Amino acid sequence: MIQSDIEIYIKSVSPDAIKAWLDTVTASLDVQSSNPKRQELMQRAAQLIDAFEPQAKPSIFTTDEQERSSDDYFLKSASNISFFFEEKAIDKDDHFTVPKQQSINKIGHAQHQLDPVYKNIVKELDFVSIGQALGVVKPRAVQSMHIFKQPGIGGEVGLHQDSTFLYTQPKSCVGFWLALEDATVENGCLQALPQGHKIPLKQRFKISKNGDPSLNLWTTHHGQKSR
Ligand SMILES: O=C(O)CCC(=O)C(=O)O
């Protein structure tokens, strides 16, 4: 079983390539995802955003974990299709600064279970087989995100380990990152530390003990050591 925190940038895939990459750097693989499928996902996202009616107090996705944590909407998004705004898309009076289609930071976190378009494409990409080739005993998709890189206002996603948010013991979280458009350092591609999947987990996101719907970041002893 792998005990890693791996972000996989998908280009194409072969099981041998997977194993080689796991031993060396954060994996970069090729999965055959055709242009029509990428278009289908982008069109579906646009449809979902069109149909979405923002709540009175819109939920923002920010790299400020404390702010993200105190949001009930964020917590409930684990089991539905939720829409998170860019911080700069909403002004201090809760008015939009950009059109709705350009205001979204991400859609998450259960469209792979609830939306037929996402569900079919995730099934066709066969992440279960890729997971098995990676050594995951019982691969299952626990979360999906459609992340936007909005021009001009897109917020930075800070350096993090996905197991901070999707924690199992031992660690088993594998993140697949599929570029729907050409991704570069300029427009917001994924960046990863070589060998980053071998670094022990530094922080955990936990529900507060007092029962209120908030999450807090806890520093593990590995995180403390490095300070
Ligand atoms: O593309 C991004 O914004 C980063 C995705 C990521 O690493 C994450 O959300 O865990």
Q: Model confidence over 85-94: pLDDT tens digits?
A: 999 999 988 8
Average confidence (pLDDT) over 192-196: 78
What residue's CA is closest to ligand 1, atom 3?
A: 157
CA-149 nearest atom, ligand 1: 3
Q: At the fourth CATH level, which superfamily is domain 8-158+175-184?
A: q2cbj1_9rhob like domain (2.60.120.620)
* Single pTM value for the model: 0.82
Q: What's the gap in Å between 120 CA and the centre of ligand 1?
A: 22
Measured from the Cβ of residue 139, the count of other Cβ atoms closer than 10 Å reads 17
Look-up of token digits 């279970």: 113
Query: Which residues have CB under 8 Å from 15's CB, separation 6+?
Result: 133
CB 172 within 8 A of CB 188: no
Q: Which residues line ligand 1 (CB under 6 A)?
A: 7, 145, 147, 157, 162, 175, 190
The pLDDT of residue 2 is 41
Mean pLDDT of the chain: 79
| pLDDT exceeds cutoff 60 at 131 | yes
CA-106 nearest atom, ligand 1: 3
The pLDDT of residue 66 is 46
Look-up of token digits 């998450």: 108
CA-190 nearest atom, ligand 1: 1
Where in the chain are the domains?
8-158+175-184
The pLDDT of residue 88 is 94
What residue's CA is closest to ligand 1, atom 1?
A: 190
CA distance 189 to 5: 18
Pocket probe mutation, ligand 1, options 177, 180, 191, max atoms within 8 Å of Cβ:
177
CA distances from 96 to 46, 54, 83, 104 (A): 17, 11, 14, 11
φ/ψ of residue 129, rounded to 5:
-65, -40
Look-up of token digits 């289609």: 101
The pLDDT of residue 182 is 86
